Amino acid sequence: MFTKILIANRGEIACRVAASCARLAIKTVAVYSDADAASKHVAACGEAVHIGGSAPKDSYLRWEKIIAAAKATGAQAIHPGYGFLSENEEFAQACANAGLVFIGPPPSAIQSMGLKAESKRLMEAANVPLVPGYHGVNQDAALLQAEADAIGYPVLIKASAGGGGKGMRAVDKAEDFAAALASCKREAINSFGDDAVLIEKYVQRPRHIEIQVFGDTFGNYVYLFERDCSVQRRHQKVLEEAPAPGMTEHLRRQMGEAAVAAARAVKYVGAGTVEFIVEQPGGYDHPEAMRFYFMEMNTRLQVEHPVTEAITGQDLVEWQLRVASGEPLPCKQEDLKIHGHAIEARICAENPDNNFLPATGTLHVYGLPVCTTFERADHAVRVDSGVREFDPISPFYDSMVAKLIVHGATREEALARLDTALAQTHIVGLATNVQFLRHVTTSASFAQAQLDTALIPREAAVLFNQEKVGLPMATAAMVADMLVREHALAQHATVHGWIDPWAQRDGWRSHGASNREFKLEFHGEPHTALFTRLHDGGLQLTVDGHTAALRYAQVAGGALDVRYGDLRATVHLYKKGEVAHVFTAQGATQIVAIDALAHAGEAQTEGGRLTAPMPGKVVSFAVKAGDVVKKGQALAVMEAMKMEHTIAAPADGTVAELLFAPGDQVTEGAELLKLALVE
């Protein structure tokens, strides 16, 4: 076994690898960029080496600096994590050339599985089922049209070197094929420098099911069962679970053996994932009719590996380390069993209600559910995270903040546990998808395991713009929290001597009632509330003209039991400036109590300003000064957290001035261009 390794990654996966190494008494070396100098993964390792600027191309993709850091610190091996250099055969070969062990597959396996068309030819030779299609090298447009006609519509055109949904088009009828092919090839050459495509049957009601495989240097292979990753947005996974709901033992064995055959075909070593597209011709209730086809192989550890660890009781990072150090696989196939059900939710800094726009900011509150560590096979709730409270979420890297993993005896138990754990996840400082995840897990399709890659658009009506905590409870919670804070200040004054009656804010009157008015903002709309303290000590709250009794009590964990009329909720509330962030078991929301004095003298917002919705890089402008534009017309493209976002015109107008150039880094709120609006 190694005595010291370097972790060539950041964030939660670097922390995850470091945790397994600590348990195995392996010393670790972190690498970090300018943006990550004070990050959690640096603190998790015994040593750390600075490797460059904040952008990945200046640090985490500079493999020559990473190898130099490993040599300088005496590391024997490099763990690449996932993303960045984890599937780069040149980096794997450079490690070997430098006398370092790459904790992953051999470069030849990475290369073989890197190109879709090449990998499909290999899988066909290994008798791994493929989606009916054309994977040849001849790219003549007429030939491709003929192949698509022979396969039968609908078909999918896919860039051979593609990924992330780029260079991909679905075609429903023959007359649309030529235009879709041309568009796909243009996008492929711009994104990957290669316009080669393949044609495949477009699978109806597709599920994304993947098999975790492992191989060692002795020629041994096992599969650690399957994960269902069908719930996706923008071709990126949102929820993953193991085992796959509705999976029959016969199909599980077929897919497992096919995945092992795929790994054996490229002499694979280490952890890998063989991804299959699964057709459901008989519908959701007939799993016996499901058919599977090879899609691709990820030659690394997957983000969703914790659900496999949960149901098998195995530490997959430990397996990686043992195999890379020359040991045989820790288990044989017959030793591996499935225990219960596990689900992983990816918590991301983004706004689902605004087309999943990435968010940046500081984690002013980062409250997580009570959880156990990954070392326990029977953990009920696990959180893998690379950040701490008060850490920044920067625009330079992926938007994922943490992974929340739950395990239960059944899927129903795991689902209930996941919703509870998500309700206990309190994040303040930036937008996240936590509430969206709750909506997905409680949707009819997900709850009933009616899974396919179209689940999110199919359930859109109950997933987006859902408000589970209304204005009355939000206002009651805000007022109750205010009263608790004022009482605490009064108690503090009493402890330190005498009570100054003029310093109290309890609104006491010798007779009658006292009133306090609040100007509120809830989801961008103005509201008014009136709090009344009655002479007999009772409390009343009037919200937009509706009056009811208000009662509250402090309960365990810093929460408040709030009752307003017939409404009742246990509330955690966090104040950040004028904004109160309200978290309940039913959902979460924000309400603003406007401080009139704080806004006195503020100027009105200037019309015609188009600002950056997040920090990032200006990719391009679609207009120039003097252009006349229509409302909704694309004006510019920005990139942040590895995703592109289009800035559109809010109204008709004329472009007065471009204030940045393509390639410029901008801060959130920076004015990108001036637009003279049509009056």
Minimal CA–CA distance to 475: which of 431, 518, 513, 435?
518
Minimal CA–CA distance to 665: which of 614, 608, 609, 610?
614
Lowest mean pLDDT among 374-378, 394-398, 419-423, 442-446: 374-378
Task: Report how far residue 135's alpha carbon sits from residue 545's, in angstroms, rounded to the nearest whole number.
Answer: 67
Does residue 300 carry a catalytic annotation?
Answer: yes
For residue 346, what pLDDT is reported?
Answer: 97
Q: Is 215 left (phi over 0), alpha (psi -120 to 50) or beta?
A: beta
CATH architecture of 133-201: 2-Layer Sandwich (3.30)
Calculate ∠ Cα 300-343-336, nearest 5°: 65
CATH architecture of 4-103: 3-Layer(aba) Sandwich (3.40)
CA 283 to mean position of chain CA atoms: 29
The tokens describing 541, both together, are 């709250």
pLDDT at residue 373 tops 80? no
Task: Report how far residue 406's alpha carbon sits from residue 416's, in angstroms, rounded to the nearest whole number.
Answer: 9
How distant, in Å, are the alpha carbons of 155, 158, 159, 237, 563 from that of 200? 6, 8, 11, 22, 58
For residue 221, what pLDDT is reported?
Answer: 98
- Residues 225 and 312: beta-carbon distance below 8 Å: yes
Could you read off the pLDDT of 107-154 as tens digits, one per residue? 999 999 988 778 888 998 999 999 888 988 899 999 999 999 999 999
Partners of residue 592 on adjacent β-strands: 521, 579
Could you read off the pLDDT of 172-208 as tens digits, one per residue? 999 999 999 999 999 888 878 889 999 988 887 899 9
Q: Which value, to the nearest 10 degrees, does the dihedral of the CA atoms of residues 666, 669, 671, 676 take?
A: 150
Computed from CA positions of residues 335, 338, 339, 342, in that sequence, does the dihedral angle turn out positive or negative? Answer: positive
User: What confidence category does residue 102 fall into, taking pLDDT thresholds of 50, 70 and 90?
Assistant: very high
Partners of residue 224 on adjacent β-strands: none
pLDDT at residue 446 tops 70? yes
Task: Report how far residue 209's alpha carbon sits from residue 204's, in angstroms, rounded to the nearest whole number.
Answer: 15
Partners of residue 134 on adjacent β-strands: 199
For residue 375, what pLDDT is reported?
Answer: 44
Tell me which amino acid residue 29 is. Answer: V
Task: Report how far residue 607's alpha carbon sits from residue 566's, in angstroms, rounded to the nearest whole number.
Answer: 44
User: What confidence category does residue 601 fall into, taking pLDDT thresholds of 50, 70 and 90?
Assistant: very low
Angle of the 63-73 helix axis to the 89-97 helix axis, nearest 10:
30
CATH number 2.40.50.100 given to 609-677: yes
Sort strands 400-408 and 381-385 into parallel, antiparallel or unpaired.
Answer: antiparallel
Task: Report how far residue 17's alpha carbon sits from residue 80's, in angstroms, rounded to the nearest whole number.
Answer: 10
Reduce the DSSP state of residue 149 to 3 states and report it: helix
**Averaged pLDDT of the chain:** 90
Domain coordinates of the chain in residue numbers?
A: 4-103, 133-201, 207-463, 471-599, 609-677
pLDDT at residue 607 tops 50? no
**Residue 221 backbone phi and psi in degrees, to 5:** -140, 145
pLDDT at residue 603 tops 50? no
Task: Report how far residue 411's alpha carbon sits from residue 340's, in angstroms, rounded to the nearest whole number.
Answer: 8
User: What confidence category does residue 605 fall into, taking pLDDT thresholds of 50, 70 and 90?
Assistant: very low
* Sequence-distant contacts of 150-154: CB under 8 A, at least 24 apart: 151/199, 151/200, 151/201, 152/201, 153/202, 154/201, 154/202
User: What confidence category does residue 164 fall into, taking pLDDT thresholds of 50, 70 and 90?
Assistant: low
Could you read off the pLDDT of 258-267 as tens digits, one per residue? 999 999 999 9
Could you read off the pLDDT of 308-345 as tens digits, one per residue? 999 999 999 999 999 999 999 999 999 999 999 999 99
The tokens describing 481, both together, are 């929290």
- Residues 463 and 440: beta-carbon distance below 8 Å: yes
The one catalytic residue among 10, 300, 322, 533: 300
Partners of residue 548 on adjacent β-strands: 541
Could you read off the pLDDT of 72-82 as tens digits, one per residue? 999 999 999 99
Residue range 629-650: mean pLDDT, rounded: 81
Could you read off the pLDDT of 275-317 as tens digits, one per residue? 999 999 888 888 888 999 999 999 999 999 999 999 999 999 9
Computed from CA positions of residues 669, 670, 675, 679, in that sequence, does the dihedral angle turn out positive or negative? Answer: positive
- Residues 188 and 122: beta-carbon distance below 8 Å: no
Which CATH code of 3.30.429, 1.20.1070, 3.30.700, 1.10.287 fits the domain covering 471-599?
3.30.700
Task: Report how far residue 271's alpha carbon sits from residue 298's, in angstroms, rounded to the nearest whole number.
Answer: 9
pLDDT at residue 57 tops 60? yes
- Residues 341 and 244: beta-carbon distance below 8 Å: no
Minimal CA–CA distance to 562: which of 492, 499, 625, 475?
475
Sort strands 4-7 and 27-33 into parallel, antiparallel or unpaired.
Answer: parallel
DSSP state of 126: T
Minimal CA–CA distance to 620: which of 606, 633, 636?
636
Percentage of the chain beyond pLDDT 90 is: 71
The tokens describing 444, both together, are 């009819």
Minimal CA–CA distance to 528: which of 538, 537, 515?
515
CA 629 to mean position of chain CA atoms: 35
3-state secondary structure string across 224-242: EEEEEEEEEECCEEEEEEE
Look at domain 207-463 and name its CATH class: alpha beta
Work out the number of other CB atoms within 10 angstroms of the CB of residue 378: 10
